[in-house]
C-alpha cells in the first residue's frame, strides 16, 4: 500500500458561515470556499506530499446532516498542544466533551469537542 486509507473527509454543516468561523478560530486556519450548485464546500487547507488527508466542510439540504454519532474524525492541533485549540471552542459556539486526555506516551493526546453544527470531532496533539 502506498497511501493512507483515508483519501478525503467531509464534515456536514447546517450553516456554512458559522461552521467556517468555528473551525477558522479554533484551528487558526483559512478555508477555500466553493459553491457548486446546491452543494457548498469549504476546503480545509492541505499540503501535497505531507501526512494526513484533505477534507472539507459541506452543506447540502438533502444529503448532509451533522451528527454527534458515527464516524469520528481526528483533526491535528497544529499549535502542538491541543489545550490551545480547546481554549477557543466554547467562544465560537462549540462545547468541550472530553478534556485533553493522554492516549499514550507514543501517540500523544486527544480531546473530544462538539462543533458549532452538532458534530462530534476529536483533536489530537503529540504534547
In a domain, 101, yes or no: yes
Number of structural domains found in the chain: 1
In a domain, 92, yes or no: yes
In a domain, 60, yes or no: yes
Query: Any residues with CB less than 8 A from the CB of 4 and at least 6 apart, and which?
Result: 51, 52, 53
- pTM of the entire structure? 0.91
In a domain, 1, yes or no: no
**Tens place of pLDDT for every residue, the chain, 127 residues?**
566 778 899 999 999 999 999 999 999 999 999 999 999 999 999 888 888 889 999 999 999 999 999 899 999 999 999 999 999 999 999 999 999 999 999 999 999 999 999 999 999 999 9
Count of other CB atoms within 10 angstroms of residue 25 = 17
Residue 44: which domain range? 9-125
Amino acid at each position: 500500500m502506498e497511501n493512507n486509507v483515508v483519501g478525503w473527509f467531509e464534515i456536514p454543516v447546517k450553516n456554512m458561515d458559522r461552521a467556517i468561523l468555528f473551525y477558522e478560530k479554533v484551528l487558526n486556519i483559512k478555508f477555500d470556499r466553493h459553491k457548486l450548485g446546491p452543494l457548498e464546500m469549504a476546503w480545509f487547507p492541505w499540503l501535497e506530499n505531507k501526512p494526513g488527508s484533505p477534507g472539507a466542510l459541506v452543506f447540502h439540504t438533502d444529503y448532509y446532516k451533522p451528527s454527534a454519532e458515527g464516524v469520528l474524525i481526528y483533526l491535528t492541533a497544529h499549535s502542538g498542544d491541543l489545550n490551545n485549540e480547546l481554549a477557543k471552542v466554547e467562544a465560537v459556539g462549540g462545547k468541550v466533551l472530553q478534556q485533553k486526555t493522554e492516549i499514550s506516551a507514543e501517540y500523544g493526546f486527544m480531546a473530544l469537542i462538539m462543533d458549532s453544527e452538532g458534530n462530534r470531532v476529536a483533536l489530537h496533539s503529540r504534547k
